[in-house]
Amino acid sequence: MRGGFNGLRRLGERFAACLQWQITLAYILLVTLPFIWLFFLVEEGGGQVKTALLATAFFFFCFSTGLVYVWSGRLVRNLGEIKHSVERFADGENPKLYGLEAEHEIGQLAQALNGAVETVSLTVRRLTEEKNRFETVLESMVEGVVSFDQLGRIELLNRAGEKMLRTSAAMAKGKQLLAVVRNQVLEDALSKTLQTGLPGTEEVRLWPHQPQIFRVTLVPIFLKQSKVSGAVMVLNDVTEIRRLEQMRTQFVANVSHELHTPLTSIRGFIETLLDGAVDDPQITRRFLSIVATESLRLERLIEDLLLLSRLEHHHEPVIGGNTLAAPEINRVRTLLEPIAREKNVSLVTEIRTGLPQLAMAAAPLNQVLVNLVENAIKYTPAGGRVVVTAQAREKGALIEVIDTGIGIPPASLPRLFERFYRVDKARSRQMGGTGLGLAIVKHLVERAGGYVRVKSEVGKGTVFSVYLPGIKAVAKD
């Protein structure tokens, strides 16, 4: 289009430069010929008649020539304005032609040109707005979008697609899919869509040794003749969704197992009693004691599950006022000291002064401390030591539970706060744990705006660090 406008511009320049003189010379020629004929016709009429005629003809000739010259100059100026407007329009401007008389053809041409410029400008503006809107939506999508032509060459790639395919739109444009990402499953799905015109869906791992899973949807693009002219590929990272689905499956399996074990034990002892063992008082008492223990375990498991559910749905109040850490730590020490003494484990508290009031309510704080200290006592052998420390830290309090227990293997540390995760399943169950205590601790602490960390070394002990913000820090946030 720009080349055509440039050609029109050059032609207009040459035409406008000589048009005025062409019109004037054409007029002189057309007027001179009749006067020459008239001159020879009246040559025999005498000198006076000839002189008068020549004077009159010369005056008329000069006057009319001047008028034609002025008129042609005006015509050339109007054409020059039209040429200049065409040049500006070719440069992307939106020119207007004013001052041209609409009743003449040139004025009508100017009005038609004004209308054409306005229509084209409006169309270009609307197309530009639609293009910008489309690009904004495309670039803001979290899904990767890739467009292909009918030969499978990449035509378009948005920002999310660049990250997923690990390339740039400039480098990928015009290339085949296999040249960008070497995945035969993806290539086969694209070829099938281009050949059959049918949409397709696949779940693939684009990169070896990477856990990312992508759900890929392919949709064909049709021309008016129902011929496939290309395809659009949408990539959606479903790694987190699949991980959550796996966690849900594991959670259901774990809950079923945890419920099944005590129920099986209770049913077995009851059936034994019904078969005649009830007649022996000692056996009956022992069996009923086991049934009571298993029932208590079931109750604790259900209570922990309900608490976790309330925490995840934010139905359990956690932040609730001006709690002091020192009284709660001392209260937990008084509660668990008999258990520690029975195991011959030393339970010590070291509380520094200047602790701020905590935003966490007293009941959740008590539950966090009980879970951590009770676990430390359980997994610390006789003669060991459990220390609970508290000190001010960053407008809050840092509480640490330090034990000299058996420690936790490094491989188990990342999963330690998962529901039903146990480092030693048999030993944990034997000690009466539900496998939910640390998960509850993590939920409670994070709901209060804090964090929990763990460091451990096998055979030397474990340190659980809990940071809880003070009232002023939470109010400021």
Q: β-strand 319-323 against 214-222: which pairing, if any?
A: unpaired
- Whether residues 451 and 337 fall in one domain: yes
Could you tell me where the DSSP H helices lie in 313-431? 325-342, 362-378, 425-430
Query: What pLDDT, on the 0 to 100 scale, is given for residue 5?
Result: 44
Q: Consecutive sets of 10 residues in the chain, 477 residues long: mean pLDDT of each?
A: 47 50 63 62 56 65 68 69 69 60 59 73 81 80 89 90 88 90 89 90 85 90 82 90 80 74 82 78 83 81 79 73 86 91 92 88 89 91 93 89 91 84 61 74 89 91 92 58
CB 448 within 8 A of CB 368: no
Is the same domain home to 351 and 459? yes
C-alpha–C-alpha distance, residues 167 and 160, integer Å: 10
At 404, phi and psi to the nearest 5?
-110, 40
Domain containing 250 — which CATH number? 1.10.287.130
- Max alpha carbon distance in the chain (Å)? 171
Tokens representing 360 are 């966490």
- 209 φ/ψ sector (left φ>0, alpha ψ -120 to 50, else beta): left
Among 176, 185, 188, 255, which residue's Cα sits nearest to residue 213? Answer: 185
Q: Are residues 220 and 274 in the same domain?
A: no
Q: What are phi and psi of 46, to 5 degrees?
A: 110, 160
Query: Does residue 363 share a domain with residue 269?
Result: no
- The pTM score is 0.55
Question: Residue 81 is encoded by which pair of tokens?
Answer: 């304005």
Indicate whether 384 belongs to any domain. Answer: yes
Count of residues in the chain: 477
Q: Looking at the structure, do residues 470 and 350 belong to the same domain, yes or no?
A: yes
Spatial CB neighbours of 366, under 8 Å, sequence gap ≥ 6: 328, 331, 332
Note whether residue 361 is domain-resident: yes
Can you tell me the distance from the alpha carbon of 453 to that of 402, in angstroms, rounded to the nearest whole number?
Answer: 12
Q: Please indicate, yes or no, whether residues 303 and 439 belong to a single structural domain of this protein.
A: no
Residue reference for tokens 């041409």:
109
Same domain, residue pair 196 and 274: no
Domain that holds residue 256: 242-312
Domain boundary among 277, 296, 312: 312
pLDDT of residue 38: 60
Q: For position 153, what pLDDT does the model report?
A: 92
Burial track 96-119 (b if 16+ CB lie within 10 A, e otherwise): ebeebeeeeebeeebeebbeebee
Q: Name the domain boundary from 312, 332, 360.
A: 312
Q: Are 14 and 79 in contact (CB under 8 A)?
A: no
Q: Are residues 334 and 450 in the same domain?
A: yes
- What is the rounded distance in angstroms from the CA atom of residue 417 to the CA atom of residue 437? 8
Same domain, 374 and 450: yes
